[in-house]
Structure 1
Amino acid sequence: MAFRLRSQLSENQIESDVASYLGCITPIWSARFRLISVNEQLTGADKLFNRFLPIYMQFKVSQGLKPERSFTDRIVRTPLTRIIQYREENNLSGNPILYFQLRRQARMATDFQHNILFKLNQPPDQFSLYIAPLTLNDSEYYKLMHPKWYMRLSPFDPFLHRELAVHDAVIRKNILLGNNPFLRHHISIPPHTLVDTHEHHYSYSQTGGDVAWHGGELRQGDFRLSTQMNRILNYFYNSSNIGFTAESFAEFIVKFRQENGMSEYTGRDNDARVDTIRNFAYQLLQQYGITLMLLGDIEG
């Protein structure tokens, strides 16, 4: 298939980079908010967070398709040629077209990863996102993460700017999220329907626009990660009634496991709530490849 363009990146690489980047940048929004990875930083989180939003992330590698096809490729219909044809028929941009496929159901899993993500996506209390870079090139990817010296004069690089003289949390997060080059160059798509096969794809342009679900549905909205994270924080910042406490989230986990045939867990920690959350995050990662992060409100 000469029209295919393969990525130079890997899922593990993307997961590590995005999670680290988000973990660095969130303290800059406000001393009030933190974003942590449960598998790495949960200890004592229930003491730190009076209220938090769970964010479930599935990191994907974007693959590429050239919109031009040979005569043979136009005759032989495959899932990938159908993506090209669908976008062509609906006048969707993309050269190259970027896409990713859903994950196969793992042997030890009780359902497709996509369905678990879909069931966990319950805005405004918790969110699920597929996250993928809007590039196929590893050099370009790392240039976005570490901009040139003159870009570092602006407040976009969390590895350089740990403290900012911006005291209004709303202004601060809008600057650092909505305009952040690294986050703007990632697509972040919430799962929107249940499936009975992994043979489905999402496709989109290199600018993060014209998102399509295959088979056959256009997705409306701005799906760049910068916009999604800004939207999530706005929900959280402007309402004290959304999200979970450690106790209510532990109760949700018990119920979710029962409803979805997932193995239960008996806590052994001094605080069973923390142990339940930590084990759920581990189970999601090991069985479904889903990373759980918590956006916490210290003051909440």
Structure 2
Amino acid sequence: MGREKFKTKSSFSEAQVEADVAMYLGWCTALNTQPFRLLDVNEQKTGADKKFDAIVAIYIQFKKSDALAEWHRPKKLPEMSPLQSIRKFRSEKELADSPTLYFKLRDKAEKAIDFQHNVLYYNNKPPISYSIYVAPLTLNRDEYYNDLCCGPRFLSDPWVWRRQNIHDGRHPSGWTSRFDIQPFLRKHISIIPHETVRDSNHFYAFSEMGDDVSWHSPGIINGGPFRLSDFMSRRIHEIFSEEQPLTTVDEALSVATSVLNQLNIDSVNILNGENSFDRLKNYGRWLHKNFSIRQMILCLDKEEIQKIRFNLRR
């Protein structure tokens, strides 16, 4: 403990969080006929390139959360370490700090071209692609796995919005997004990288409720709510409510090409494959191998989505 007795470390690893969240998102898929599907780039047999003709690419960097105790101004101000500065800043700005959860940006690998954070930032190009950090809002392993194993899964109709059912005539039960009420997804923060960095000595900090997000530098990050359930629900809401145009695989590939150009990397060997969908997935595999960034693809059936949009306008 020593000088950092105000710090509580999580028992999780980034790899554990990545595996559990990716698995859970895979459970959230409608069976049989469906207007969309969330595809993990690591899945080998999908046929998604034939069934779906629009996509939204989602790039995720999984983190584990550690915790800082509430700041109490000492009689003698200690040397301001980065973690002490986080505590002091959040106390002064009256942000939730009992405790404060946080994670640090990853150090640049010895042979890496750029910081992982910057690569994640470059891939955030709404509405074509989105980039987020995802970290648990708990340090307790038992609580985490209890949430993972509870709630509705493997449903033929998992897309139930809280206030509105969506009908296409053939599915009277409708599709809703239960993303916003699923305990496991509500127990994760999702933060969009908001600027580039020149070193990794930066931290995102947040409350146990998934709000009051700060950046150290320091600054306060606006634009919440920030839970993973909120992020996923917004994506589905935008698709059904016509807030944003449906985007294509080729548009997502253009983002990938732009990122590789920005990194001064030849895209020929990375963006290869029999079709655009395969090339995009190969880009995702390259990102994961080189930067530990996971690619998820929200695959859309334009015809089915347009039917739902039409019925919502009636």
Question: TM-score scaled by structure 1?
Answer: 0.87
Secondary structure of 2:189's aligned partner: strand
State the identity %.
Answer: 35
8 Å Cα contact 1:49-1:298 kept in structure 2 = yes
8 Å Cα contact 2:123-2:255 kept in structure 1 = no
Deviation of residue 240 (structure 1)? 8.7
> Over residues 32-81 of structure 1, what are the superposed CA-to-partner deviations in whole Å (9 max), with x where a residue is unaligned?
11001112247532212200000000100000111146849941210000
Distance 2:278 2:264 in 1: 20
Write the mapping of 1:125-136 to structure 2, written as runs, cut at 5 A: 125-136=128-139
Where structure 1 has 5 or more consecutive residues not aligned to the other structure, the ranges are 148-155
Provide the residue aligned with 1:152 in structure 2: none
Write the mapping of 1:37-52 to structure 2, written as runs, cut at 5 A: 37-41=40-44, 43-52=46-55
Provide the residue aligned with 1:86 in structure 2: 89
Write the mapping of 1:176-215 to structure 2, written as runs, cut at 5 A: 176-215=178-217
Provide the residue aligned with 2:297 in structure 1: 294
Secondary structure of 2:101's aligned partner: strand
Distance 1:73 1:144 in 2: 42
Provide the residue aligned with 1:157 in structure 2: 152
1:146 maps to which of 122, 133, 149: 149
8 Å Cα contact 1:177-1:183 kept in structure 2 = yes
Deviation of residue 136 (structure 1)? 0.6
Distance 2:45 2:247 in 1: 15
8 Å Cα contact 2:12-2:141 kept in structure 1 = yes
Distance 2:202 2:69 in 1: 19
Question: TM-score scaled by structure 2?
Answer: 0.84
Q: Which has the higher helix share?
A: 1
Distance 1:74 1:67 in 2: 15
1:278 maps to which of 277, 281, 286: 281
Secondary structure of 2:302's aligned partner: coil
Distance 1:227 1:164 in 2: 16
Asked if 1:4 corresponds to 2:31, the answer is: no
Bigger relative contact order, structure 1 or 2 (CA pairs below 8 A, ≥6 apart): 1
Deviation of residue 262 (structure 1)? 2.8
Secondary structure of 1:274's aligned partner: helix
8 Å Cα contact 1:58-1:289 kept in structure 2 = yes
Would the alpha carbon gap of residues 240 and 31 (structure 1) be closer, same or farther in structure 2, given more than 3 Å must change?
A: farther
Write the mapping of 1:6-155 to structure 2, written as runs, cut at 5 A: 6-27=9-30, 31-41=34-44, 43-68=46-71, 71=74, 74-147=77-150
